[in-house]
Structure 1
Amino acid sequence: MDRVSRSFEILLVEDDAIIRMDLALCLSDLGHSVREAADADKAVALITDGMNFDLLVTDIDMPGSMDGLALAAYVRDLQTGCHILIISGGTHLPPADLPLGCVCLRKPLMLSDLESALSKFEANH
């Protein structure tokens, strides 16, 4: 299992409350600081209010004015150095369909999946 030594400030965006709570707990247990949003609109509000984060973890399919891919593109345009992890229970997207530098994982996630993705971000920081 890959261990991440760096602590990330994470913005977690997931509309399913149970999945969001589980992911937040896993990420916190790995030593990261996590803020949660139930959809992209709430995430944009946090960003507009000045939230600082260096990793966006977002689901793709969510209610609201934009989905997770649009949110990822928004964040990528706003903060080019921010790492982005996209999670999806549905369609698996090829790398060409993702914003530059994004990693995509399929649900359900294992703790080892999260650790592996975070170690890639740490290596590229």
Structure 2
Amino acid sequence: MHVVNEAAGARPAILLVVEDEMLIRMLVADVLRDAGYEAIEAISGDEAIDILRAGVAVDLVLSDVRMPGSTDGLALLAFVRQNLAELPVILTSGHLSPEIALAEGAVKFLAKPYQILDALAVVEQEVSKLK
């Protein structure tokens, strides 16, 4: 596992993991925490928007596309682009083409099923751009 490089006084990156499948969400969040990140979990796009509207500081969003509720991953991405334009969003899906996700404003796309270490590498690549 990679470890987040924390300079003196620097805080770990805060990642919002949005996934309705509990086991996937828990696994991804645990791996990110083990790598030195802070992971906030949301079970839907609706919950993710509530978290963002509440002003919770988030450095990156990793979100599934197909989720229950009124906000899927593409709608969450649209909300972020409209309200928090600089916040990077990585989308994951087994049903959506990467071209659509990227055209809508995602910084990266992970096709499901993905390897957890591939997800970690993509997150690390995007977080490294934040510094």
* CA distance in structure 2 between the aligned counterparts of 1:95 and 1:123, rounded to whole angstroms: 24
The residue that corresponds to 2:72 in the other structure is: 67
Residue of structure 1 equivalent to 2:117? 112
**Can you give the 5+ residue segments of structure 2 that lack an aligned partner in the other structure?**
7-11
Percent identity between the two aligned chains = 32
- 1:28-39, aligned counterparts within 5 Å? 28-39=33-44
2:43 and 2:101 map into 1 onto residues whose CA distance is 27
Larger relative contact order (CA 8 Å, sep ≥ 6): 1
**Cα distance between partner residues in 2 of 1:15 and 1:75:** 19
Question: What residue in structure 2 maps to residue 15 of structure 1?
Answer: 20
Letter in 2 for 1:51: V
Change (3 A) 1:96 1:60: closer
Hey, which bits of structure 1, 4+ residues long, moved more than 4 A?
A: 1-4
CA RMSD of aligned residues (A): 2.2
Residue 110 of structure 1 and its aligned partner are, at CA, apart by 1.8
Alignment of 1:51-66 (within 5 A): 51-66=56-71
User: 69, 83, 104: which one pairs with 1:99?
Assistant: 104
Residues 22/2 of structure 1: CA separation in 2 closer, same or farther (3 Å cut): closer
TM-score in terms of structure 1 length = 0.85
Structure 1 unmatched ranges of 5 or more: none
Measured at CA, do residues 16 and 111 of structure 1 come closer, stay the same or move farther in structure 2, by a change above 3 Å? closer
The partner residue of 1:79 within 74, 81, 84 is: 84
Please tell me whether the aligned partners of residues 4 and 122 of structure 1 are also in contact (alpha carbons under 8 angstroms): no
